[in-house]
Amino acid sequence: MYEVRGDIITGLGANKRAATDYQCAQKLGAELKDKVAQAEAKTKEKKASGKVPVTVLTGFLGSGKTTLLNRILKEFHGKRIAVIENEFGEVGIDDSLIEAGPLTTEENIIEMNNGCICCTVRGDLIAGLKKMVKNSIKNNKPLDGVIIETTGLADPAPVAQTFFADDYVQQKLHLDGIVTLVDAKHLIMHLDEGYLLWWQEKPEGVENEAVEQVAFADRIVLNKCDLVDEAHLDEVEKRIRMINDSVKIQRTTQSKVDMDFILGIEAFNLDKILEMDDAFLEDEQDHQHDDRVTSCGFHVKGEVHQQRLNEWLAWLLKEQLGLRGVDLFRTKGVLAVQGMKEKFVFQAVHMAFNGAPQKEWEPGEERISKLTFIGKNLNRQAGHVSNEVDAIRCGYCKIPLATSQQDVLVFATRWDRSVWFSRALAGRMGPVWEDRSQHCVAFVALSAQA
Ligand SMILES: Nc1nc2c(ncn2[C@@H]2O[C@H](COP(=O)(O)OP(=O)(O)OP(=O)(O)O)[C@@H](O)[C@H]2O)c(=O)[nH]1
């Protein structure tokens, strides 16, 4: 049995581990001196030559993955880099945030927004990788690298396992490394979730993704160093080392990391992973997400009124969510703001938010506003929007939406899925809800359009 297992994992490149298995078989009487020597020699060899290197970019929500991806695409604009972008959130935003260079064309960017590549759409990941490689061969445009940006809630282990689960993928691609972005300000809070704080206890069987992302990292980019002091950074490093003592760490802001620290590093080491997780190569890894973490999004035609949007978001992020036991991890959006020729990109990580104009709208491009929220316990009880005499408020939490004298566009959504919106003309509030039994917690009085 040890010999067979040694043969299998030799084929997968875990030569050190294979040597150990052969040694066990030898102890049981098998004559395997040659195989042990071969496995030990291969351990020293560089692996995977000729295969396209793949980098998995992972890290908790808002840690700086897309910022780093854009940096890579900019610095390597002369290289053909394919991107697989997996986003958590019922409305996809990241496609608008990626700044692809001339060689990273649409055919080389695959977006997967309908599930998490570490579980529900893992099959799609394999299919996507194969398609990219086959296209590059067919069109004689060889790829220089593939970057997979996982969702902030992904467990990187099943993603890495993909490179050992499919023969074609294994022949053509090799996993260069798992690069984990860490938000210096929030990491410790996420690591502690489900361990120290009893009220945050995770349901049984649910993993702490932040821990997994650090544990499986070949490199850690300790980002957002501008938000904390030296002592806090030392504490964060200490916590990282408790989970992954040998990982290399580079401190950064705005994901400004040396490219040779993260790319072409030949750092993924199956031996190390097998030491940590003996079941890593098994087909069905037990992996469960926390169902309490959900997303809620808007995707609405039309322009928004920036000041009202800011007021509403500030109110939502600072005053309401914490009080109601809701943990909002991440908010991001691309908005069509009235009077602005650029797309307005809004980002928030927990309560810290910022926004700035980005690229201009193309001539003829439809003006659409997209906004997505990701957090825990976002579901709300039944309620309705009331139409009071001089102010339009939510009947449940009393958030002021607008006065009835304002001409507004009201967006409304339940925290689960559905999104409704309706225009309320001055002095006349149109029906907002299709189903009044469902409470809507997020709604925005935004537009000054007539
Ligand atoms: N203060 C500060 N903000 C940063 C830094 N790096 C990135 N950001 C901001 O943090 C926000 C999140 O960055 P992203 O790169 O989108 O993070 P992400 O990991 O891709 O986020 P998700 O895709 O939602 O998981 C953006 O507003 C960035 O501009 C940094 O070093 N310091």
CATH number at residue 325: 3.30.1220.10
Domain boundary among the residues 211, 245, 276 is at: 276
Question: Is residue 286 in some structural domain?
Answer: no
Q: Is 226 in the pocket of ligand 1 (CB under 6 A)?
A: yes
* Per-residue tokens: 257: 């990391």
Q: What is the pTM of this model?
A: 0.75
Contact partners, residue 431, CB within 8 Å, separation at least 6 = 422
pLDDT at 202: 60
Average pLDDT, rounded, for the chain: 74
pLDDT of residue 228: 97
Does residue 284 lie within any of the structural domains? Answer: no
Domain assignment present for residue 102? The answer is: yes
pLDDT at 414 over 70: no
User: Nearest 5 degrees, angle CA 319-CA 211-CA 74?
Assistant: 80
Measuring CA to CA, which residue among 245, 396, 382, 375 is closest to residue 317?
375
First to last CA, the chain: 76
pLDDT (tens digit per residue) in 21-71? 766 667 666 666 666 666 665 555 544 457 999 999 999 999 999 999 999
Q: Are residues 440 and 304 in the same domain?
A: yes
Give a yes or no: residue 283 inside a domain.
Answer: no
What is the ipTM metric for this complex? 0.99
How high is the pLDDT of residue 366? 87
Pair 361, 437 in one domain: yes
For residue 330, the CA-to-ligand 1 centroid distance in Å is 10
Residue identifier of the C-alpha nearest atom 12 of ligand 1 = 62
Q: Is 401 helix (H, G, I), strand (E, B) or coil?
A: strand
Residue burial 150-186, b: 16+ Cβ < 10 Å; e: rest: bbbbbbbbbbbbbbbebeebbebbbbbbbbbbbbbbb
Looking at residue 112, its pLDDT comes to 83
Q: Does the pLDDT value for residue 430 go beyond 60?
A: no
Measure 65 CA to ligand 1 centroid, in angstroms: 7
- Tell me what the mean pLDDT of segment 348-360 comes to: 85
Domain of 39 in residue numbering reads as 2-44
pLDDT at 297 over 80: no
178 shares a domain with 126: yes
Using N-to-C axis directions, what is the helix angle for 156-165 and 122-138, rounded to 10°?
Answer: 50
Contact 176, 263 (CB under 8 A): yes
Q: Is 128 in the pocket of ligand 1 (CB under 6 A)?
A: no
Residue 82 pLDDT > 50, yes or no?
A: yes
Percent of the chain having pLDDT more than 90? 29
Asked whether residue 281 is domain-assigned, the answer is no
Residue 212 lies in a domain: yes
Domain count of the fold of the chain: 3
User: Which residue owns the Cα nearest ligand 1 atom 5?
Assistant: 254
How many angstroms separate the alpha carbon of residue 80 from the centre of ligand 1? 24
- 318 lies in some domain: yes
Average pLDDT, stretch 224-235? 97
As given in the structure block, the two tokens for residue 263 are: 């790319």
Residue 183 C-alpha to ligand 1 middle, in angstroms?
A: 8
Q: Is the same domain home to 233 and 350?
A: no
What is the DSSP secondary-structure string of 332-354? EEEE-BTT-SEEEEEEEETTEEE
User: Are residues 92 and 167 both part of a single domain?
Assistant: yes
Is the Cβ atom of 61 under 6 angstroms away from ligand 1? yes
Least confident of 8-17, 81-90, 251-260, 333-342: 8-17
Q: Are residues 144 and 176 in the same domain?
A: yes
Is-contact 185 351, C-beta < 8 A? no
pLDDT on residue 178: 96
Residue nearest to atom 4 of ligand 1 (CA): 254
Does residue 288 form part of some domain? no
- For ligand 1, whether the C-beta of 414 sits within 6 Å is no
pLDDT reading at 239 higher than 50 = yes
Residue 12 C-alpha to ligand 1 middle, in angstroms? 35
pLDDT digits (tens, 9 = 90+) for 320-344: 455 444 567 888 889 888 788 999 9
Q: For residue 350, count other CB atoms closer than 10 A to its CB.
A: 20
Q: Are residues 174 and 322 in the same domain?
A: no
CA of residue 160 to ligand 1 center, whole Å? 24
The answer to whether residues 298 and 257 belong to one domain is no
Gap from CA of 255 to ligand 1 centroid (Å): 8
Residues 236 and 250: beta-carbon distance below 8 Å: no
The pLDDT score that the predictor gives to residue 94 is 80
List beta partners, residue 147. Answer: 55, 83
Check residue 368 and give its pLDDT: 82
pLDDT at 145 over 50: yes
**Ligand 1 mutation target, pool 67, 116, 257, most atoms within 8 A of CB:** 67
Q: Could you tell me whether strands 145-149 and 442-445 are parallel, antiparallel, or unpaired per DSSP bridges?
A: unpaired
Residues 327 and 390 in one domain: yes
- Secondary structure letter of residue 317 according to DSSP: I
Residue 356 pLDDT more than 70? yes
Kindly write down the DSSP assignment for every residue of 36-96, as one continuous string.
HHHHHHHHHS---TTSEEEEEEEESTTSSHHHHHHHHHHHTTTS-EEEEEE--SSS--HHH
Considering the domain architecture, whether residues 69 and 117 belong to the same structural domain is answered as yes
Instruction: Say whether both 58 and 207 belong to one domain.
Output: yes
CATH assignment at residue 198: 3.40.50.300
**Do 334 and 256 share a domain, yes or no?**
no
pLDDT band for position 355 (cuts 50, 70, 90): confident
Would the CB of 253 count as within 6 Å of ligand 1?
Answer: yes
Q: What is the mean pLDDT of residues 386-406?
A: 46
